[in-house]
């Protein structure tokens, strides 16, 4: 009797073990090996020219770096994988540095704004590149104005994962939100109402491009066509290139019909020279009116003239 009981107990244990084993085997069939687990990255993961490049993979996830942190650590410096992302991403914030995705990491000229764009393009005709350099470059030969802060066209960001940074609904397109400069009402009488059209890639009613007293109020520059902005397009006559406010036929003192681009220096010598070349971009489209080197006055300061009309026509 004992032998029979032992036999049935052993047989029962065998059946239970077999079922458990079979159940686990079936469960294993449904598992998919994670593509980004340590040691199993596909070939070409670190090669930017390869279809398996991790940058392209991360872009498809809407630039979600949280998965990377699960293996490489919250600071990207090793984690459980024991591999630091800072080996290649040498910026102060590693993979979360601004110029990881847009801008340049060239040691001779690092910057966080396009070019290059998220699509790795450098041509100004691409809307992801456009006139960024003409607004932001520290090289004054690239600009005709004061440098523009990123926050003048985009929302301020506190960190990489700031809610204002990456929005899945925009699919990589940046949100345009104008700041203080575009709303500047210097000179009075005109109140900018800046807008951006993502279809035509153009902005309108911005102080920066003529929406001010005696400016060309209807001018709409195209962001990815820098040649759409010429001398005279914001104030003056874009056809002749005469930047005198009111040109060609609506002159108002202290500007007169005989003024040309070679006359501007007589009152704005801190900004432009007698040849009509802007010599101090930082003093152009900077939210102020700069008249003579010693009188860099803003709307809140007193002009050297009691009335603008007091200026001598021969100066």
Across 53-62, 128-137, 283-292, the highest mean pLDDT is recorded for 128-137
* pTM score, whole prediction: 0.76
* Cα–Cα dist 289/303, whole Å: 9
* Cα–Cα dist 135/10, whole Å: 82
Lowest mean pLDDT among 4-8, 213-217, 272-276: 4-8
Tell me the average pLDDT across 6-16.
Answer: 51
Q: What is the mean pLDDT of the chain?
A: 83
* Cα–Cα dist 64/46, whole Å: 17
User: Residues 6 or more apart from 17 whose CB is under 8 A from it?
Assistant: none
Give 235-279 pLDDT, tens digit per residue. 999 999 999 999 999 999 999 999 999 999 999 999 999 999 999
């Amino acid at each position: 009797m004992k032998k029979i009981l032992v036999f049935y107990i052993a047989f029962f244990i065998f059946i239970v073990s077999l079922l458990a084993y079979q159940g686990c085997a079936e469960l294993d069939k449904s598992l998919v090996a994670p593509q980004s687990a340590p040691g199993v990255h596909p070939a070409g993961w670190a090669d930017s020219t390869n279809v398996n490049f991790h940058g392209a993979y991360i872009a498809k996830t809407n630039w979600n770096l949280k998965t990377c942190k699960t293996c490489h650590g919250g600071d990207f410096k090793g984690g459980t994988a024991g591999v630091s992302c800072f080996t290649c991403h040498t910026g102060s914030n590693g993979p979360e540095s601004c110029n990881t995705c847009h801008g340049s990491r060239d040691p001779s000229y690092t910057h966080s704004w396009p070019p290059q764009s998220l699509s790795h393009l450098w041509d100004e005709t691409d809307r992801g590149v456009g006139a960024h350099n003409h607004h932001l470059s520290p090289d004054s030969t690239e600009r005709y104005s004061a440098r523009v802060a990123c926050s003048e066209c985009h929302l301020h960001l506190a960190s990489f994962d700031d809610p204002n940074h990456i929005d899945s609904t925009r699919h990589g397109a940046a949100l345009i939100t104008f700041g203080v400069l575009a709303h500047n009402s210097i000179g009075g009488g005109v109140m900018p109402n800046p807008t951006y059209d993502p279809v035509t890639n153009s902005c309108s009613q911005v102080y920066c491009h003529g929406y001010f007293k005696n400016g060309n109020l209807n001018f709409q520059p195209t962001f990815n066509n820098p040649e759409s902005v010429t001398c005279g397009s914001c104030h003056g006559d874009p056809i002749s290139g005469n930047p005198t406010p009111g040109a060609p036929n609506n002159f108002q003192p202290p500007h007169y019909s005989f003024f040309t681009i070679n006359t501007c220096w007589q009152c704005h010598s801190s900004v432009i020279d007698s040849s009509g070349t802007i010599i101090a971009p930082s003093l152009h489209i900077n939210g102020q009116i700069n008249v003579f080197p010693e009188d860099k006055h803003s709307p809140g300061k007193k002009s050297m003239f009691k009335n603008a009309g007091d200026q001598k026509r021969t100066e």
